[in-house]
Structure 1
Amino acid sequence: MSGIYIHIPFCKQACYYCDFHFSTSLKKKDQLISALAKELQLRKDEFKNSTVETIYFGGGTPSLLSIEELQFLIDTVHENYSVATSPEITLEANPDDLSEEKIVELSQSTINRLSIGIQSFFEKDLKLMNRAHNAEEAKKCLEIATQYFDNISLDLIYGIPNSKSKEWLDNIKTALSFGVPHISSYALTVEPKTALANFIDKGIIDDVDDEVAHQQFHQLIEQLEEAGFEHYELSNFAKPGYYSKNNSAYWLGKPYIGIGPSAHSFNGDQRAWNVKNNSVYIKKIEANQLPLEIETLSQNDKYNEFVMTGLRTSWGISLKTISSRFGDHYKDFLLNQAQFYITKHLLYIDNDSLKATKKGKFLTDGIASELFMLN
């Protein structure tokens, strides 16, 4: 199984917390779309022995593209790759782009999964984050989308400055009221050089409170598990049968190609990433050059990545796979490093896999770094 990620680097406006690559100018949109199609063609040999099972439009804001533009890129994948009979094709979308007409058109295309960036149902939160949509648009688009799409995921953000537990609980219950089968939820993170970081430094916005985020994370788990969701990855919850195939492939270390400026790729032995500049990207592709930087992974790199992604999931880090893929030395090292966290009831071993306890889940990324094999 392989996946293709297509990065659409355009947004109507900049969210204050975002550090992804994007542009608010659409002047080069047509050139960019042509370049995306050409990159797909130039890289087809990378998957000549693989079947593409997922196509994922991320960004940026992919829902800014027309149905015709999206379908053109999907058709280009089909023309150049071996594609599964029923691939999962996901479109990230913002509520303000999802008019009823757009939703109906999308439902008639080959796109079969929507990932909608709600973030919050409270107007004050949306304004604090500088989201392009309002609370009414968030609810309206879900009312319509759920009539036309079965497979919908929505995003929520917790740990927003000055957010109260009751408000967060209302956010979760509002999300559940629409009957969506998948919810992704992330703690608001203050990334360097973002507008949010600048506002916090100047005292315009209060800093995030890790303790509040921790409490809201556990509220989230409790509410969603009670509603029948499975917490299959640190930030992802799904009803049975609705795990994201695209995201699951990433956590399981399967290969993927990232198309577009700033997009990352992985083939098991190497990581690669495209240049973070739309103009440079277009110029290189038009000259039949791939604007890629490539890093060949050491054995330690591969082990560390396996540990980092595995610990975030409900299936954990398979000790058998560690032994077979990396050797018993790595397994012994892992168990030795993990012992402290096992005694603190943050990690446990279940069915020959190392997993995070409920208490340890919020601390997963920090714990994983302590399990890394350093060069």
Structure 2
Amino acid sequence: MCSHSCFYRSLVYLHVLIAIFESATTIGLFVLISITHQELFFKTKHPEDGDLQAVGTINIIIIFVLFLAGAIRTIILLVFVFLVLLMPSVCFCMLCIPHCRNPYCKLLRSRSTNRFLSFNCNCPCYRARPKLRFQMQFILIIFISCIRIAMIIFCFTIQHNIATKSLAVIVAISFFFLIITSLLDFYHYRVWWHYKPILSKTTEHVEIPTAPLSKKHQRFIPYHLLGDNRTTHFGDKACSNNRCQNRDLEHIFIFHFKGYNPQPRYFDLDERTRYIGFHQTDPESAIQIAHSDFRISVKHECSMLGHGVYFARSREGTDRKANRQGAFICAEINMGRVLRVNAHERNLYRGKKDWWTTHDSAYFCHPDAAFDEFCIKDPSQILKWIMVIEKNDSKVELYGLDQEFDDTKCSCI
């Protein structure tokens, strides 16, 4: 697993290497064709038209503009590498005098520099929306690809000119590096959005499941994305607890605080088919649930509403009810026929399942609505869920996800 985390932390350097190799290949082939091997890709049929000047000034300008637009990422990185990495090599004081060398080394290690080199914007909107960041990167790559394709087509439309056709082939070769860049961006995205926790401490009797994830399991969310960590920056604000009508499970965890109740009390709803519930357990049990399903609680002392699977109305509501802690589950549940249990009836069903014959769920109306809880008789009523493991998950720090947006020096960089 260390190799995976090291690879993730090295993405910025891989982007720089790809840009350098792409530039070296492009420049090398261009010089090779221009000076020594003009017939490297094509046979010259019209030597008198072999010079680029023969295509006309307007066509030269179009080709030049398209080339700059299609290679904008590479050009920016090359300029930065030349100014920051190569220039100090001729300046003796940068390398030998500590008070000159230390700021230079600090600049190279800065996260702002890393984000600039990998074109990874630090917009607050991306902090809680890694998919949006990937989509913007993907759009940029599509744009660059379209520019390069347009240049290739334009170069091939110019007849009887071997220079422009060779340039089109060189640009086509550069697509290899563009594909590698796309794969690195996809890997970057996948680590965030298809996140899987790494338990730093596991007990000996717990076995890591080998079965595939349950179809009900939507995803794990890194714990540092929870709504409690939302900032006041534009794009990263938490939603209003009163007005938000978004029932998406990911949105509930990411953009709302611990005490947020996504829906009113069950019997205050006009439509009472589905309901949002929260469950808390230990990280090991959460992993087991993710690969299988919930299990019915049958312990007499902790089953106030009888046998079943228990949920609260908020994450905070699970703290006083859960016997195990460290992992939160937010689920969408088909309540079916619901038995209303009032405060004076709280002990009538303890340790029993008498209501199973007439109802699918039992909902306890606490004198304080924040402490309402409900119980379902069958795990099949749980339609889908997402999970957050707060304790014993070492992957966030191992991959540096919790610091990926830190150290902003200039706007979104």
TM-score, L = length of structure 1? 0.24
More helix by share: 2
Bigger Rg over Cα: 2
TM-score, L = length of structure 2? 0.22
Higher relative contact order (CA 8 A, sep 6+): 2
